Amino acid sequence: MSDQKKMSVTQLTFIVTVNMMGSGIIMLPANMAQVGAISLLSWLVTAIGSLAIAYGFAQAGVFNQRTGGLAAYAEDAYGRDGYFLVFFLYFISLAIANVAVASSALGYLAAFFPALTASPVATCVGVIALLWITTFANFGGPSVTGRIGSVTVWGVILPVGFISIFGWFWFSGSTFGEAWNPKGLKLIEGMGSSISLTLWAFLGMESASQNASAVENPKRDVPLACMFGTLGAAAVYILSTTAIQGIVPNAELAASTGPFGLAYAKMFNPTIGSIVMVLAVMACLGSLLGWQFTLSQTAKDAADTGMFPSLFAKANRFGAPVTGMIIMGVVQSVMALSTISPNLSEQFAALVNLAVVTNVLPYIVALSALFVIMRGAGVERSVYLRNGIVAVVAMLYSIYALWASGKDAVMGGMIVLALGFVVYGFLAARQSAAKAPAPRTASGGVQATAGA
């Protein structure tokens, strides 16, 4: 790629911010309202932790520019075993996240079709239906999917951005005060009450390092884009969720399945609220469409290199890995059934907690590899010390996020990890057989195989 065509630090920063915002924010105000506005303190903890994680990945991306992202970083320290472990957990976290995005879309659709969330079974069926609709829609290949996602993402960015800046004109101090701490939590409990929910909104922070080869000056621009992109998303998240807490009474907000639409209905009128609901549905479906394809394409790339079962590598004439899409559709349907909850909000929270656990584990493995990567690159002692301190902060925050996700999510993550080793057992055996030298005959010659 010529220098003229490469991205500037401003463009890369914008990409990082947009990748993070996606559709992750639109259900959070309702879930956080169930704890109270004190849960907003979690943003401060997560913003610091996310900045440390983003910076650690940016530095890893500067010194290791191979394809594979987090998995490639882990490979430097732990070999192919580390590569597979990080790839598999990250891959499954994407699958879980897509189910959560489907539940977000269903929540906003329920404003127009209340029967969709009339019972836990109806909710689960609705989520599964959205997953399969977007799976089938991807059978036509990637050419249309990317264009749709680049347009529909604005259905989230515009309403959330507007309320971050102008929502304060409708902000009520008394409404916010009543919402502050309805459950009487201690300050430290409030700070830890929504760690997984807030971290969920920051997932995607590693995207700057994935684009290191496409910027003008990777060593300078990638860390800057990571930091500015994460800071920009943090500012929008904190401002928008705080403003909503002062616009919508806490009890209404906690019971809502479309919190931003409800806020706009309060700010203007129900018609504007409905328009925001429609934009949010479009954004969720566009995001889900793109991520469903990314999920199957990620599996195909791994299968092409022998790091995943070969049936995920099969693609149709449009380039869509249909077999992998169907398999993951079944897996995601099982995920939706296994997290069925009394209401949509609880199911969303269960999925987010599980997605965070399966996302944070590869974060820790990849960040811990930074020390090996830096030694291999021969970095200066001062840089090594600075990056090492930041990486330790990032890993400590990640461990805290694991604890804050709750025992059910951690147990679910352990089951996913165990399944990963089952899959890798077959792959590792096949790779070992391929690498093993041919057995020698008694005379010292190499024994010929039957087909040779």
Q: Are 224 and 11 in contact (CB under 8 A)?
A: no
In a domain, 416, yes or no: yes
In a domain, 227, yes or no: yes
What integer pLDDT is reported at residue 415 of this predicted model?
92
- State yes or no: pLDDT of 431 exceeds 50: yes
Over residues 202-207, mean pLDDT: 72
Domain count, the chain: 1
Report the range of poorest mean pLDDT among 14-18, 367-371, 389-393: 14-18
In a domain, 443, yes or no: no
d(CA 174, CA 172): 5
- State yes or no: pLDDT of 118 exceeds 50: yes
In a domain, 394, yes or no: yes
In a domain, 4, yes or no: no
Q: What is the band of 442 on the pLDDT scale with cuts at 50, 70, 90? A: very low
pTM of the model: 0.81
Cα-based angle 171, 177, 182 (whole degrees, multiple of 5):
130
Over residues 28-44, mean pLDDT: 85
Which CATH number covers residue 241? 1.20.1740.10
- State yes or no: pLDDT of 443 exceeds 80: no
Give DSSP secondary structure letters for 214-275: GBS-HHHHHHHHHHHHHHHHHHHHHHHHHHHHTTS-HHHHHH-S-HHHHHHHHHT-HHHHHH
Report the range of poorest mean pLDDT among 73-77, 291-295, 398-402, 408-412: 291-295
- State yes or no: pLDDT of 438 exceeds 70: no
Percent of the chain with pLDDT over 90: 27
In a domain, 439, yes or no: no
Q: How many angstroms from the chain centroid is the CA of residue 277?
A: 22
In a domain, 284, yes or no: yes
Most confident region among 56-70, 87-101, 290-304, 420-434 by mean pLDDT? 87-101
Q: What is the band of 213 on the pLDDT scale with cuts at 50, 70, 90? A: low
Q: What is the mean pLDDT of the chain?
A: 83
DSSP state letter for 311: G
Cα-based angle 204, 137, 257 (whole degrees, multiple of 5):
60
Q: What is the domain extent for residue 137? A: 9-431
In a domain, 1, yes or no: no
Percent of the chain with pLDDT over 70: 87
